[in-house]
Structure 1
């Protein structure tokens, strides 16, 4: 048997190459052309009114907090409540903008616990960053209501949530900003790119300027301008080079066509895992999917007593799982919050993400389940 990796992206290669070829033949590989088309397709797919294609989800989160801070007159040192159980870029994006991360604990879905969030709210709290771990919505609806009650902004880190639905709808219309990742191993993989969807049009307009060095007229719109002054633009902000390009957008256009059917197969893999662990729930706990959630199933996470030993043993059997994630308060820069989120800290030493990708078969899942059960015994 060949080794089973945690992630292995699937690309419809000929279709992707056709999109890339069109960019090369047209001579337009940068901002515009395909990025505009993909933004339109993403808005049609999700139902969001605004969508801006970027070079990563990390810059999307950074822009979300920059613009919300700027528009709402937050000051350095104001607080955003976030999770310690996430990739470090989620919390770095808050710090980039001079805001302080206040960590709240997680629930049984590995997502923020609304009861613990409420305990962490102070007069300095301005926003909540909710991470949909593995595609799960957790208690998102309760957190939406909590933000309304305390007049807090809500940013949804949907890096794992491409295609996730809650009660049949793409979640996030209630959030002030939603940020998706199309990084190489995500459910909608490119090489690297992301999307930010603001609730308010004016925030989308500012974002487009900030992601193109603060320039108020992008290259593509200047190219389609027949007037004599197409070269004449203004620079309104000190911006960044954060926008996406047409090569990545071309790949994304192909991947979006298959997103729902790919996610359906991922959910089938997760169901096979559930069946495989059904009789050993006393030793191997699986992370539940919240009621009403049709998850993207980006991750399949189990909780075990001997995680590190199990991980090494599985490697010996050519199975290569991962850990999502290490408690961020264990990192030096966030150590000020150690011991503030006991459930996240406990889980950080016990959770393991099992391989989950489209190249896997039922046989692969059964083999992994057998090996996990064997080593846990």
Structure 2
């Protein structure tokens, strides 16, 4: 039987009950369940604001749009970011005609504070930190850099649902945090996300922009008796970015089990760690001190990565790569060579299968094949 990189697990009957309630009430769009999910997410994370979206990608785009509007950044503003991420992270900077400046990564595959500081200029307005795989890396050092140079901080927490740092959900220090609930994330729906601004005014503006700039959403304009207040104003050229109650209903169920599910992912990671212990041909990317990672990914670094990937495929084991150095893409090739460690790592890393349907025997099989190939 094949072992896939990702395979989401849903509590099907509970999810169907949430969806059934939406269908029976005749309310499947914005409001109702989205409001419930936002409140539960704020309660879970301790963050003051939360707005449910149709994806994390639109959340990152909104983060830059709103910060640019509120802080009056010009189009020459620079955002320091990582080249080791999914391309949507850095596309979000370009959406708002801002300039991504790539800083290198450390052994945790997160931004290296030393290289970040070296690349700060008078045009730098923000740092975009990605908690890759659920790892926090040297996040707190990045927080201090933002304070030192008066920079905004955007936390791309797409992999960080459930991650804690020194016992606390990170993000309260950031201007905005964006989470992903895409189909294979730790808290999977079909696709959706959450954006959490520190500032309430930014949260209010975000809600208008996600509903075409309209100053009152449909749910807010409906009464308990079903009366519909049609009159509203349009304050901005907005978008159709908000989430819906079907996805939020699934999210409500998944949130109940998030810590439990992440605990099992940590057990899978421990089995991998034990299997590779002492093997000089395989370096497992470690979790940073103080980080209780969501363990969205389990990443190893090896020689002959592409050959190993093909060999595993032949044994019906299907790993992945997270990620290719973004400066290798045509879009960002102007920065090629600026982040040598990121480039080196991206040629050697492999993400091993990591999902709740795996058992120890599956991990043992993956370990056996990886060890066998890297020993040749």
Q: For the residues of structure 2 that align with 1:97 and 1:225, how far apart are their CA atoms?
A: 39
Note closer, same or farther for the CA distance 1:107–1:56 as it changes in structure 2 (3 Å cut): same
2:222–2:228 CA contact under 8 A, matched in 1: no
Note the C-alpha offset of 1:226: 7.3
Is 1:298 the equivalent of 2:293?
Answer: no
Contact 2:3 2:353 (C-alpha < 8 Å) held by counterparts? yes
Give the C-alpha shift of residue 77 in structure 1. Answer: 2.0
What secondary structure sits across from 2:52 in the alignment?
strand
Q: Deviations over 1:32-60 (max 9, x none)?
A: 00000000000000001100000000000
2:128 maps to 1:123: no
> In structure 1, what is the equivalent of residue 337 of structure 2?
339
Matches within 5 A, 1:1-377: 2-224=1-223, 230-280=229-279, 282-377=280-375
| Structure 1: segments with no counterpart, 5+ residues | none
Q: CA deviation at 1:279?
A: 2.2
Tell me by how many angstroms 1:227 deviates: 11
Deviation of 1:229 (Å): 8.3
Q: CA RMSD in A?
A: 1.1
SS at match of 1:15: helix
Q: Distance in 2 between matches of 1:37 and 1:321?
A: 36
Structure 2 gaps of 5+ residues are: none
Between the aligned partners of 2:246 and 2:77, the Cα distance in structure 1 is 38
CA distance in 1, matches of 2:298, 2:19: 32
Tell me the distance in 2 between the aligned counterparts of 1:202 and 1:41.
21
Deviation string for 1:192-224 (max 9, x for gaps)? 000000000000000000000000000000012
Superimposed CA distance per residue, residues 222-273 of structure 1 (whole angstroms, 9 cap, x where no aligned partner)? 0128798821100000000000000000000000000000000000000000
User: Paired residues, what number?
Assistant: 375
Task: Quote how far apart the aligned CAs of 1:124 are.
Answer: 0.6
1:268-296 per-residue CA deviation (whole Å, 9 max, x = no partner) reads 0000000000020x110000100111000
Helix, strand or coil: the match of 2:127?
strand
State the SS of the aligned residue for 1:42.
helix
TM value normalised by structure 1: 0.98
Q: Distance in 1 between matches of 2:270 and 2:78?
A: 39
How far off is 1:307 after superposition? 0.1
Give secondary structure in 2 for the equivalent of 1:11. coil
Structure 1 residue 330, shift from structure 2 partner = 0.3
Deviations 1:141-169 (A, max 9, x none): 00000000000000000000000000110
CA distance in 2 between partners of 1:228 and 1:211 (Å): 23
Secondary structure in 2 matching 1:219: coil
Structure 1 residues 375 and 227, CA gap change in structure 2 (3 angstroms): closer
Q: Deviations over 1:282-320 (max 9, x none)?
A: 110000100111000000000001100000000001100
Q: Which runs of 4+ in 1 moved over 2 A?
A: 224-229
